[in-house]
Amino acid sequence: MRRYRLLCLLALMLPLAHAAVDADGFVRIKPNEIVFSPGEDGGPSFAVLAGDPTKAGFYLLRAKFAPGVMSSPHYHPSDRHVTVISGTWYTGTGPEFDRDDMIALGPGSYMMHPAGAVHYDGAKDEEVIVEIKGIGPAPTIRVGR
């Protein structure tokens, strides 16, 4: 529930922050204009680029994992589509966290998290940025808490 509240706060603070919207409605955001909000409990930082992940409809966000930051097993109620932007992102599935059984995905890699499927992910030795797309609302529901 705390993660859901964090996403609500992010959605209010960050949608299209620093985005240049031209007269025809095109939006342009340069990498140095993306503002990440610190994650809770040492988790990843988030930046909402479009939409609102707490409401119905499309959203687009970025998550930044500092070296060593991993999520605990969790799931989302709808499909999420993840593309690795930078770094090597480590991913695992199932309710038991197993650092040794994670699969490494490098820049340009894609992973789909099916609705309700338990997974965990993060960074080992370097910073990782992933882009997450989906249809909200998209709370994170932790397993075993």
pLDDT for position 145? 61
**H/E element holding 132?**
strand 128-136
37: which residues sit within 8 A by CB, 6+ positions away? 6, 9, 10, 13, 14, 45, 46, 47
Pairing of strands 128-136, 103-105: unpaired
Task: Read off the tokens for 64.
Answer: 């930044």
Strand order in the sheet with 103-105: 103-105, 89-93, 119-123, 74-75, 141-142
**Residue-range domains of the chain with CATH:** 2-142 (2.60.120.10)
Ordered per-residue pLDDT tens for the chain, 145 residues: 444 444 444 443 444 455 678 889 999 999 999 999 998 788 899 999 999 999 999 999 999 999 999 999 999 999 999 999 999 999 999 999 999 999 999 999 999 999 999 999 999 999 999 999 999 999 999 998 6
Closest CA to 21 of 40, 49, 47: 49
Kindly state the DSSP code that residue 18 receives in the 8-state scheme: T
Rg (CA), the chain: 15
* Number of helical (H) and strand (E) elements in the chain, helices listed first: 1, 12
Cis peptide bond upstream of 137, omega within 30: yes
pLDDT for position 18? 56
pLDDT for position 144? 81
